[in-house]
Amino acid sequence: MNIIPHNFTIEGFLLVLSLLLFVSLAASKLSGKFGIPALILFLAVGMLAGSNGPLGIYFDDPNLAQSFGIIALSFILFSGGLNTRMEEMRPVIGKGLSLATIGVLITTVIVGLAIHLLTDLNIYEGFLLGAIVSSTDAAAVFSILQSRSLNLKHRIAQVLELESGSNDPMAYFLTITLTQYLLNPNPGQLGWILPNFVINMAIGAIVGFVMGKFTIYIINKIHLQNPALYPVLSFSLVLFSYSFANLIQGNGFLAVYITGIILGNGYFINKNTIVRFSDGIAWLMQILMFITLGMLVFPDQIPPVIGIGLIISLILIFIARPISVFVSLLFYKVNLRSKIFISLIGLRGASPIVFATYPLIAGIDKSNMIFNIVFFIVITSVLLQGSTISILAKILKLDKPIVRKLKSFKLYDDIKNELTELIISKNSTSVGKELVELKFPSTSLIVLINRENKYITPKGSTQLMANDKLLIMTESKGEIPNIKKCLDIE
């Protein structure tokens, strides 16, 4: 039953929007407690609010969903780039870009062939569906890694983040190219795919680099009176970066991602304000995008594609993704356990659903079937891969305690004190012991304990628990190995 009047006012719209946001945030809190990825709950909120849900809000406008999805993805990619540190990414650039290009292409071909053999879709329609689901999703990867607080060995997190931030442009290019080909089948245009790809990516990269440098210059020179306006200025230039790159036949998604990377690794005034604000906007966009895409789906249209959707999901997760990863990383020194982990953590998210609106809007034959299959694949990926990432990391022994230097400062001219955060692992022998029992170095001090987001003032009788985060003050970083040995953590 539709409990929202068809002619409801702006106040009614804002009321519904605020309730949906509140429910989504509450759902994300539950996701952390029960290990359910928050992204799937955002989609569920949208589906419950949509035509077949209790709220019964009729929404069937793929054009609007696509437009909002593009804006949201732009901000998400920008935020991801803004938080990317080049000193951490530089050693994995080759691996990440290989996965983002060769990996996407291989996934497209394998999934496309499988779909063609298993369904009545022709080979090009199969490739189109394969291209749509070929990229891992930046929003999904960034949020899952952050929410799980995983510290992965061998720079795996950096590889996954770089891949997810840079493979959307490749998937987008293939989706648009194949959609245009299906609208106007001309074998001659297939020969232009590679040159068009190189030009498209090159223009996007150049625009992103130039806009990043230009944005830093403008922010440092404009001297706005109100510091709160600097995030607005940066985001206006981000939107310009996306739209201008597309206007001159470049890849807008790549442009905004590189713009974010240039800003994140540059120096400009009010940088912390812009970074914090962009993180909040990225989360807001992510939530609203998933709610919108959830509302666009008609749940009663999903059951007919569950069978084929499940088969394609399994092929994507256990065949196409592993093959694409192993081939892409063939010429790089990556151990077997890392390859297996990267293979099985190929999260799909909102990007494929947004890309699936392109053939839908273009009126491609069977585009509605393609959209519903893509939606089911995304749900399967987030549920299966998103919920098992921590377990898989432990099984493959790729997780490690987080060691993060928070601050370094001088108390005296000849003493350099440091604050370091260490996490007590579950298998540490210090779990259950009182602080007084530990043979802690006399030159070090446990300042604070973070336990399940609650702060505890340490005393001699305080017992350590698994996953406790200890804020430790030391006189020098050379004391850290002794402290870790004392706490029995790696």
Residue 397's pLDDT is 86
> What is the helix (H) or strand (E) element at residue 378, kind and residue range?
helix 367-395
Residue 482's pLDDT is 82
> In this predicted model, what pLDDT tens digit does every residue of 377-421 receive, in sequence order?
988 888 888 778 878 888 888 876 555 444 444 444 444 567 788
* CA 320 to mean position of chain CA atoms: 20
Burial environment of residue 181 by CB neighbours within 10 A (0 to 12, 13 to 18, 19 or more): middle
- DSSP code, position 490: -
Q: Which two tokens stand for residue 245?
A: 């790159």
Strand, helix or coil for residue 399? strand
Q: Which of 190-194, 204-208, 360-364 has the highest mean pLDDT?
A: 204-208
Residue by residue, DSSP assigns 192-220 as GHHHHHHHHHHHHHHHHHHHHHHHHHHHH
Residue 1's pLDDT is 38
The strands making up 415-423's β-sheet, listed across from edge to edge, are 403-412, 415-423, 469-474, 445-451, 454-456
> Closest by alpha carbon to 424, among 397, 400, 392, 456?
400
Determine the Cα–Cα distance for residues 167 and 95; give it in Å rounded to an integer: 12
Q: Looking at residues 322-347, what average pLDDT do you find?
A: 91
- Return the C-alpha torsion angle 155, 156, 158, 161, nearest 10: 180
Determine the Cα–Cα distance for residues 120 and 320; give it in Å rounded to an integer: 20
Residue 406's pLDDT is 44
Q: Which two tokens stand for residue 178?
A: 């194949």
Determine the Cα–Cα distance for residues 422 and 66; give it in Å rounded to an integer: 43
How would residue 144 be classed by pLDDT, with cut points 50, 70 and 90? low
How would residue 428 be classed by pLDDT, with cut points 50, 70 and 90? confident
- DSSP code, position 135: S
> Closest by alpha carbon to 115, among 103, 124, 104, 105?
124
Least confident of 144-158, 267-281, 346-360, 375-389: 144-158
Determine the Cα–Cα distance for residues 268 and 271; give it in Å rounded to an integer: 6
Residue by residue, DSSP assigns 17-66 as HHHHHHHHHHHHHHHHHHT--HHHHHHHHHHHHSTTSSS------HHHHH
> Closest by alpha carbon to 62, among 429, 359, 474, 309?
359
Q: Which two tokens stand for residue 413?
A: 């001219």
Of residues 327 and 52, which shows the higher confidence score?
A: 327
* Cβ-contact 237, 210 below 8 angstroms: no
How would residue 316 be classed by pLDDT, with cut points 50, 70 and 90? very high
Residue 477's pLDDT is 63
Of residues 302 and 439, which shows the higher confidence score?
A: 302
- Return the C-alpha torsion angle 343, 347, 353, 356, nearest 10: -10
Determine the Cα–Cα distance for residues 230 and 119; give it in Å rounded to an integer: 52
CB burial readout 252-263, b (16+ within 10 A) else e: bbbbbbbbbbbb
Q: Is the dihedral of CA 105, 107, 113, 115 positive or negative?
A: negative
Q: Which two tokens stand for residue 247?
A: 């206007």
How would residue 112 be classed by pLDDT, with cut points 50, 70 and 90? very high
Q: Which pairing describes strands 445-451 and 415-423: parallel, antiparallel, or unpaired?
A: unpaired
**Percent of the chain topping pLDDT 90:** 23
Burial environment of residue 61 by CB neighbours within 10 A (0 to 12, 13 to 18, 19 or more): middle
Of residues 87 and 111, which shows the higher confidence score?
A: 111
Of residues 130 and 80, which shows the higher confidence score?
A: 130
Q: Which two tokens stand for residue 371?
A: 């959209």
**Number of Cβ atoms within 10 Å of the Cβ of 68:** 17
Mean pLDDT over all residues of the chain?
82
Residue 287's pLDDT is 81
Least confident of 20-24, 186-190, 298-302, 440-444: 186-190
Residue 4's pLDDT is 47
Residue 18 has pLDDT above 70, yes or no: yes
Residue 422 has pLDDT above 80, yes or no: yes
Q: 472 has which bridge partners?
A: 420, 446
Provide the residue type at 37 as one letter: P
* CA 407 to mean position of chain CA atoms: 28
Q: Which pairing describes strands 469-474 and 454-456: parallel, antiparallel, or unpaired?
A: unpaired
Residue 108 has pLDDT above 90, yes or no: yes
How would residue 36 be classed by pLDDT, with cut points 50, 70 and 90? low
Least confident of 15-19, 97-101, 199-203, 446-450: 15-19
